[in-house]
Homo-oligomer: A and B are copies of this chain.
Amino acid sequence: MKLLEERIAKDGEVYPGNILKIDSFLNHQIDVELLDAMGDELFLLFGNCGVNKILTIEASGIAIASIAALKFKVPVVFAKKSKTANISSDYYCAEVISYTHGNTNNVIVSKSYLNRDDNVLIIDDFLATGEALRGLIEIVGQSGAKLVGAGIAVEKAFQSGGRELREKGYRIESLAMIKSLEDGKISFC
């Protein structure tokens, strides 16, 4: 998606360790008009798939998932991160390692809001190693729901998460694909 790539090229900041910060329009300050255009794009990609529910993960997935959900006219469910070791049986639960924050979270979704009758699209802001996405896919599996695919804002294509999950047969569509952040320079696929 050209508009998003142009914005990343203009406002993205690269930090050592291949970290891309897009805090000025997606992860801390949010440009909702850009997200509106991204929602249109996600609807073009997945609008004919019978999606009845969008699943995302707190915190920064919520904005893009909610604005996209307006296009699909379906509810959003956001997975919560929980440090608690004992999760009640009312929740689906998957373990997710965060390389950014150097910790492991349980990611939980109430059984009330996801079940075998659902046709789920996952939406998230970033895909790199794929840990968060794998956790959400596991939760959809636990619920018995059908997974339509995943719509991602920004994929670091030089990390293996997207490739590995596509090889397993999941449909993953990323609106911007980063080829490299080497030498602090952002290049796209």
Chain A interfacial positions (CB closer than 8 Å to B): 23-25, 28-33, 35-36, 58-60, 62-63, 66-67, 69-70, 73-78, 80, 109-110, 112-113
Check B32–A77 contact: CB distance below 8 A: no
Q: Quick one: closest B residue to A73, CB to CB? A: B33
Check A75–B29 contact: CB distance below 8 A: yes
Kindly list the 10 A-B residue pairs having the minimum CB-CB distance in the complex, ordered from nearest: A58-B59, A63-B66, A29-B113, A62-B62, A30-B76, A32-B69, A59-B59, A29-B77, A32-B70, A62-B63
- Rounded to whole angstroms, the CA-CA distance of A75 and B60 in the bound complex is 14
If A24-B113, A59-B58 touch, does A36 touch B70 (CB 8 Å cutoff)?
yes
Check B33–A70 contact: CB distance below 8 A: yes
Check A75–B23 contact: CB distance below 8 A: no
Check B28–A113 contact: CB distance below 8 A: yes
Q: Quick one: closest B residue to A68, CB to CB? A: B32
Q: Quick one: closest B residue to A112, CB to CB? A: B24
Check B30–A75 contact: CB distance below 8 A: yes
